[in-house]
Amino acid sequence: MGRGIATVCALAGFDTTVTDVSDEILVTAKNEVAEMFARRVDGGKLTRDEGEEAFARIRFLPDLESGAREANLIIEAVPEDLELKRELFSQVDIFCGPDTILASNTSSISITELAKNVERRGNFIGLHFFNPVPVMKLLEIVVGERTIDETVEVCRQFAERIGKEPIVVRDTPGFATSRLGLAIGLEAIRMLEEGVASAEDIDRAMELGYRHPMGPLRLTDLVGLDVRLGIAEYLFSTLGPRFEPPRLLRRMVEEGKLGKKTGRGFYSWGE
């Protein structure tokens, strides 16, 4: 997600910094972003000069402080772990300027809870992107209890500049999109578990019958079964039994079948 976010920001003309705790991951991220631009050039969506100029706007730094000090907007895209995200924001809050906007790409965790470790709670907001970021048009702006109107407006303008269509939602468990998407995804997994139909036919039902661009099981593979399980467990604890994770989902995560990133989920993913 972070790589996709960096790509669309650079394409929109923003100077962008990508940071990570791992040098190896940063090298991989740099190579993948370069490939994203190369595909756009090969597909005729960018000229070679435009691709090179956009790529040159992105820095890949292992040092969080250096990237944060110069940023007007910081978007966090670490795993869905409340304490991990809180710890990251408590560090960033020390490094960045007083007007910097702090945003989380979380798909389910409370923005108000995430903001508890920072001083600038009025500048704290959710910017929930969708995967793959360069393709998906939606950007869900999540407003916490202390988020000020000016922050919301700046983020709305940011969304439009990077070519996204924003919606604004109140900070509730799962927001709008995760609650709706997860409800469909969990029911699809239960149907597969009960032998109602194959994964392919369940997905085809939603693609052809409801014009979804991708079926819920293939989408779960793309998002990651572990990510989906984490969101389901959080919503199960906050919203009740309708979001209880199916046994099949738990078993597949235990077996390491996490979707595209491991090569096996509800589908087999080759090279």
Domain ranges of the chain: 2-170, 177-262
Rg over CA atoms, the chain: 19
Closest among 204, 179, 180 to 191, alpha carbons compared: 204
pLDDT of 271: 61
Assigned CATH topology for domain 2-170: Rossmann fold (3.40.50)
147-176 as b/e, with b when 16 or more CB fall inside 10 Å? bbeebbebbbebbeebebebbbbebebbbe
Find the mean pLDDT for residues 163-182.
93
What is the pLDDT confidence band of residue 107, given thresholds at 50, 70 and 90?
confident
pLDDT of 80: 84
The residue with greater pLDDT, 271 or 236, is: 236
Whether 43 has a pLDDT exceeding 70, the answer reads yes
The pTM of the full predicted model, rounded to 2 decimals, is 0.86
- Give the pair of three-digit tokens for residue 271: 């090279």
pLDDT of 187: 98
Query: pLDDT exceeding 70 applies to what percent of the chain?
Result: 100
Q: Which CATH architecture has domain 177-262?
A: Orthogonal Bundle (1.10)
Query: pLDDT exceeding 90 applies to what percent of the chain?
Result: 84
pLDDT of 111: 95
Whether 147 has a pLDDT exceeding 70, the answer reads yes
